[in-house]
Amino acid sequence: MGGAQRLVPVLLWAAMATACAEGTGPMPAGPATVAAGYYHTCGLTSGGVAYCWGYNYYGELGDGSRDSAALYVRAAPVSVAGALRFAGLTTGANHTCGLTGAGAAYCWGNNFYGQLGDGSTTNGLAPVPAAGGPPFASLTAGGNHTCALASGGAAYCWGYNLGGDLGDSSIVQRLTPVAVAGGLTFTSLVAGYYHTCGLTSGGAAYCWGYNPYGALGDGSTANGLTPVAVVAGPPFASLTAGYYHTCGLTRSGAAYCWGSNFYGELGDGSTTGRLTPVAVAGGLRFASLTAGYFHTCGVTGGGAPYCWGFNDYGDLGDGSTQQRLAPVAVAGGLTFASLTAGRYHTCGLTRGGAAYCWGYNHYGELGDSTTTDRLSPVRVLGF
């Protein structure tokens, strides 16, 4: 953990000026997307320029470096190499992927299991194109795998597959995109650490992959090598997947979660794991949800942020390190358009277009130019 913790947002303009002077280049403006990985975070500007910050041992920041220990940690945003413009961005455990407007997938970082999709297991210090597959409409990165949705709704995955993460009916790792078995078409996909889920146009949720704690929601603890239906839950409008748990949001904004519940990440007031969906306590209505390692967060229709679950590093942003079994308000009074949960940290975009993060910051993943943990939101440098 870092040094002294602050309970109010900070904006480090002096550090930003220093960062620019030290050659990181112009700071981004107008963020459109923020995505939190294991120990790193990335953001996409409204112009499609990608920036990343935090842990960089595998090249997950994409700036072309990892050649000395000093460059393993970047505590403020650095631009991704290659001058590509992206329409979407997603972060896995130690890799990152971006989708161009033309539907081409590029990934960088850890590639031990082929999660970059370029046909190799060589780490990428800058974006490399995924080989094969059709043009994609969206991407989602899991722990050590990546999945994509084609414009017609067909799902493709690549990378780690020991638990059936890729859904192609095998446990063979894949170095390039392969079709998910079963012939289903989806409107969206979300990848957890070892599992993946998809949502059909009718609101039916299907999941596949590693399932010892019930993350697939089918009432069992058996791994799913192909998509299995989530049972005993309502139709969903969106899904999010964490380490061993999954959550869904109904069209009316009611939140349900299932899977592991070691630290209260399901938000139902208990620490009892669930094999099928259970309602999140408190009766709040959310506009979006995001699942991290062992915590979950949501934004209400009015932009109010709430989190629940593991909180040893301030992951929940409520000014404490107390585990929460049901939603608690994030401190600071900010209103958010979206949130994204990493391993032990959380980030969000305010309705005014500014990026804030809180929680674990040992590797600079909060982007405030420090490695100090934060118990409530701090402004990402220049974002």
CATH number of 277's domain? 2.130.10.30
Checking if the pLDDT of 25 tops 70, the result is no
User: Do 117 and 158 form a contact (C-beta atoms < 8 A)?
Assistant: yes
Q: Kindly indicate the confidence band of residue 30, based on its pLDDT and cuts at 50, 70 and 90.
A: low
Mean pLDDT over 237-265 rounds to 98
Phi-psi region of 282 (alpha: psi -120 to 50; beta: other; left: phi over 0): left
Residue 5 lies in a domain: no
Task: Give a yes or no: residue 6 inside a domain.
Answer: no
Whether 304 is covered by a domain: the verdict is yes
Residue 1 lies in a domain: no
Q: Tens of pLDDT along 271-286? A: 999 999 999 999 999 9
| CA angle, residues 342, 301, 139, in degrees to nearest 5 | 40
CA 27 to CA 369: how far, in whole Å?
Answer: 13
pLDDT at 59 over 90: yes
Query: pTM of the predicted model, to two decimals?
Result: 0.92
DSSP structural state of residue 353: S
Residue 102 has pLDDT above 90, yes or no: yes
**Confidence (pLDDT) at 2:** 31
| Chain centre to alpha carbon of residue 84 | 21
Which band of pLDDT confidence, cut at 50, 70 and 90, is reported for residue 67?
confident
Are 77 and 52 in contact by the 8 Å Cβ rule? The answer is: yes
Give the C-alpha separation, 323 to 339, whole Å: 19
How far CA 3 is from CA of 116, 360, 361, 373, in Å, comes to 35, 11, 10, 7
Q: With pLDDT > 70 as the criterion, what percentage of the chain qualifies?
A: 92
What is the tens place of the pLDDT at every residue in 112-140?
Answer: 999 999 999 999 999 999 998 899 999 99
- 82 has a pLDDT exceeding 70: yes
pLDDT per residue as tens digits for the range 162-180: 999 999 999 999 999 999 9
Tell me the residue type at 38: Y
Contact 225, 169 (CB under 8 A): yes
C-alpha torsion angle, residues 341, 345, 349, 351 (rounded to 10): 100
Give the per-residue pLDDT at 331. Answer: 98
Task: List 89's β-bridge partners, or say none.
Answer: 98
DSSP code per residue over 87-119: SEEEE-SSEEEEE-TTS-EEEEE--TTSTT-SS
C-alpha closest to that of 142 among 164, 121, 119, 171: 164
339 part of a folded domain: yes
Assigned domain for 4 exists: no
Residue 367 covered by a domain: yes
Residue 2 lies in a domain: no
pLDDT-derived band at 9 (thresholds 50, 70, 90) equals: very low
What integer best gives the mean pLDDT of the chain?
92
Domain of 280, in residue numbers: 13-379
Stretch 370-382: mean pLDDT: 96
Instruction: Reduce the secondary structure of 129-162 to three states and give it as a string.
Output: ECCCCCCEEEEEECCCEEEEEECCCCEEEEECCC
Other C-beta atoms within 10 Å of 27: how many? Answer: 17
Determine the pLDDT at residue 8.
Answer: 26
Tell me the residue type at 195.
H
Assess whether pLDDT exceeds 60 at residue 12: no
What's the number of domains the chain is made of?
1
Closest by CA position to 109, among listed 177, 45, 37, 193: 37
Spatial strand order in the sheet of 305-309: 286-291, 295-300, 305-309, 324-329
Q: Is the pLDDT of residue 15 over 50?
A: no
